[in-house]
Structure 1
Amino acid sequence: MTSFALVGAAGYVAPRHMKAMQAMKGDLKVAYDPNDSVGVIDSHFPDAHFFTEFERFDRHIDKLRRRGEKIDYVSVCSPNHLHDAHCRFALRSGADAICEKPLVLNPWNIDGLAEMERDTGRRISTILQLRLHPAIVALRDRFATSNKRHKVDLTYVASRGRWYYASWKGEDAKSGGVATNIGVHFFDMLCFVFGAAKLNEAHLREPERAAGFLECTRADVSWFLSVDRNDLPAEIQGKKTTYRSITVDGEEVEFSEGFTDLHTRSYEEIVAGRGFGLDEVRPSIDIVSTFRNAPISSRHERHPSASRALSK
C-alpha cells in the first residue's frame, strides 16, 4: 500500500488530495497544518496522525522511517511561498514530493530543487491537472501539427470574498499575485497546447485581476484573470461564481466539465512514474515570474476585460 504524508491539511485544495489518496487505496499516515480545522480528515483517513507543529510532524516521519515504515510520498498543499521548503523536506525525508501548483514562485528555485533531486535520488512531481483534461488533450492533438498561427482568448474569473485579501493569498510575496495563484496552470496548459512562450507582455496587474499577452510557438494569446465577482459576465452574476472561457480563432473550447477527478488522475500518473517533473513545470513558472516583474505595456491589443477594468 502506498503511504502518504500531507503538509497543509487545512487548505482549500487538501481534500482533493485526500480523495485521490483514498481512491488509489493509499494510506495517509500523518498530516500537518498550523491550523486545526481539519475535520475533513475523518471522511478519508480518520486514523491519520495530525500535528500543528512542524517539528513534531518531522519527528513522527523520522520515527516511521526508523521503524521501517517509510513514507512514499509527501503531498504539499501549503501556501505557495512554502512549497520550495516543504518539497526539500520531503526529499530529505527519503520520500518523493507531490506538490500543488505553483511548484515555486521563481524559476531559480527550480534549479535548487533539481540539485536536491540529484543528491537524494528522489523526485518532485507537480499537479498540472489541465494536461490530463480530455478536452485539453484533444486540443493539443488538434493543433500539434498546425502550420498556421492561432488567435487565443483566455478568460478566467474565480470569485473570492473579502477573506481572500486577509489570507496569504492576498499577499504577493506569499502567493505570487493573481496571475501566479489562479493562473499558473492555465499558462502551463497554453504552452502544452501551443508551444513555448517567446514573448510575455503585462497589460494589467492589480491585487484582484491581471491581464497580458503571450506569443507562443503556434498562437497569440490574450488573457485575463480575476478574483473579483464584478468581472463575471453580466448574464451569470448572482448565479455562478466561476467563469472559464477559451476561444481559438473565435471558436469556444468547451472544458467547463471534467475537473472532478483530475487530482485522482494526477496521483495515478505520478505513482505510475509518469508525473510532471521539474522540466515540465519550468515554462509556466518562467511566465508568471516574468509577468510579475514586467513593465506595463500596450504594444499588443489588450483583452477586452482588461480594457474595461482600466477605463473604470
Structure 2
Amino acid sequence: MKKFALIGAAGYIAPRHMRAIKDTGNMLASAYDINDSVGIIDSLSPDSDFFTEFERFQEHAFRLKRNSETALNYVSICSPNYLHHAHIAAALRMGCDVICEKPLVPTCEILDELSKIEEETGKRVFNILQLRHHKAILDLKEKVAESQNSEKYEVELTYITSRGKWYMESWKGDPRKSFGVATNIGVHFYDMLHFIFGNLQRNVVHFTSEHKAAGYLEYEKAKVRWFLSIDADDLPESVKGNKTTYRSITVDGEEMEFSEGFTDLHTVSYQEILAGRGYGIEDARHCVKTVEAIRACAITTPMEGEGHPILANLLH
C-alpha cells in the first residue's frame, strides 16, 4: 500500500484522484487546500490529515519522512494551473513521486526546470494524460497506425463543455492563472492528436476569446480543424437540454462521438503509473509546446479548408 498526499483537495477534479487512490488499494494519508470545503474526504478516506496552510502540510510531510513506515510515496496535485510548478517542485523535494493534473506546466522552459529537480531528488513527475487510455482513442490510434493511406486524414475536433458565470469569477477565468481556455480545457486534446497522428508540423490560431478558441493544426498524418468552448450556446441542437458537454472527432467525414467513457480514466491512469508505465515530463512536452505556441500565435484568417465549421458563425 502506497501513501499519498493530495494538494488541491477542494478542487473539481480532486474527487477523481481520491477515488483512484482508494480504488488502486492505496491510502490518502494527508490533504491540503486553502478552502476547507472537502467533506468528500469523509466518504473516501476519513482518517486523512487535512491542512489549510501549506507550511503546516509541508512540515507534516517532512515529519512523516523520518520514518520509512509513515513516509509519503506520492503527492497528487490538483491545484490551479499556475501553482503546478511550485507544488511539483515542493513535492519532489519532500522525497515523493508526483502525479499532476493537466496542464503540467505552461512552458517548455519550466519542464526543463522540473527535469533538473527530478535529477536532484531522484523522484519522478507523472502527468494525467487520460485520453491515452480511452478505448475509442486507442482504437483510432491503432486504425491510423495500420492504415496504408498516404494522404493525411481530414480531422475536425470539437469540444464544448458548458460553464456557468462562476467560471469567469474563479481562477479559471483569469488567463494569468489558467493560461486561457485553449490551455485549460484543450491541452489533453492536443496531446491526444499527437498521440494518434504524430508530430506537429503547423499551428495556426483563427479565433480566441475568454470563452472559446479555434484554429488549425497539421500533424504528420492529419490536418485538424479544432474548436473549443465553455459557452453553452455553442452546443449542437441535438444535445442542448440533455447534455452540458459535447466531445466529437470527425475523421475523413466519419464521426466518432466520445462523450462517454471518461468516468474511470483517472483510476486507469493511476494503475498505469503504479505499474511503472506512467507518462512523464517528456511525454507531456509536445502538448505543452503546442499550447505555449497557441498562446503566442497571432490571429490569422483561415485559408481555404482550414477553418472549423463553427468558426463561420463567430466571424460574421
Question: TM range, normalised to the smaller chain?
Answer: over 0.9
Within-5 A mapping of 1:159-198: 159-198=162-201
* Equivalent of residue 253 in structure 1, options 251, 256, 259: 256
Within-5 A mapping of 1:1-312: 1-68=1-68, 69-146=70-147, 147-300=150-303, 301-311=306-316
| 1:210 Cα deviation from its structure 2 partner | 0.4
| 1:94 Cα deviation from its structure 2 partner | 0.4
Where structure 1 has 5 or more consecutive residues not aligned to the other structure, the ranges are none
Residue 88 of structure 2 aligns to which amino acid in structure 1?
Answer: C
- Distance in 2 separating the partners of 1:6 and 1:268: 17
- Distance in 1 separating the partners of 2:131 and 2:60: 34
| 1:255 Cα deviation from its structure 2 partner | 2.1
Q: Which runs of 4+ in 1 moved over 3 A?
A: none
RMSD: 0.9
- Distance in 2 separating the partners of 1:131 and 1:285: 16
- Distance in 2 separating the partners of 1:239 and 1:287: 33
- Distance in 2 separating the partners of 1:43 and 1:305: 42
- Distance in 2 separating the partners of 1:202 and 1:287: 11
Secondary structure in structure 1 of the residue aligned to 2:315: helix
For each residue in 1:106-131, what CA deviation from the matched residue of structure 2 results, as whole angstroms up to 9, or x when unmatched? Answer: 11110000111111110000000000
Greater CA deviation, 220-229 or 252-261? 252-261
Secondary structure in structure 2 of the residue aligned to 1:303: coil
Residue 310 of structure 2 aligns to which amino acid in structure 1?
Answer: S
For each residue in 1:232-272, what CA deviation from the matched residue of structure 2 results, as whole angstroms up to 9, or x when unmatched? Answer: 01232222111111000000114222111100000000011
Residue 261 of structure 2 aligns to which amino acid in structure 1?
Answer: G
For each residue in 1:126-181, what CA deviation from the matched residue of structure 2 results, as whole angstroms up to 9, or x when unmatched? Answer: 00000011111111111014432100000000000000000000011110111011
| 1:307 Cα deviation from its structure 2 partner | 1.9
For each residue in 1:195-223, what CA deviation from the matched residue of structure 2 results, as whole angstroms up to 9, or x when unmatched? Answer: 11111000011000000100101000000
Secondary structure in structure 1 of the residue aligned to 2:29: strand
| 1:310 Cα deviation from its structure 2 partner | 2.2
- Distance in 1 separating the partners of 2:164 and 2:89: 33
Secondary structure in structure 2 of the residue aligned to 1:39: coil
Q: How many residues align?
A: 311
Residue 307 of structure 1 aligns to which amino acid in structure 2?
Answer: A
| 1:299 Cα deviation from its structure 2 partner | 4.2
- Distance in 2 separating the partners of 1:164 and 1:55: 28
For each residue in 1:52-97, what CA deviation from the matched residue of structure 2 results, as whole angstroms up to 9, or x when unmatched? Answer: 0000000110110113321110000000011111111111000000
- Distance in 2 separating the partners of 1:235 and 1:270: 38
For each residue in 1:172-194, what CA deviation from the matched residue of structure 2 results, as whole angstroms up to 9, or x when unmatched? Answer: 11101110111000000000000
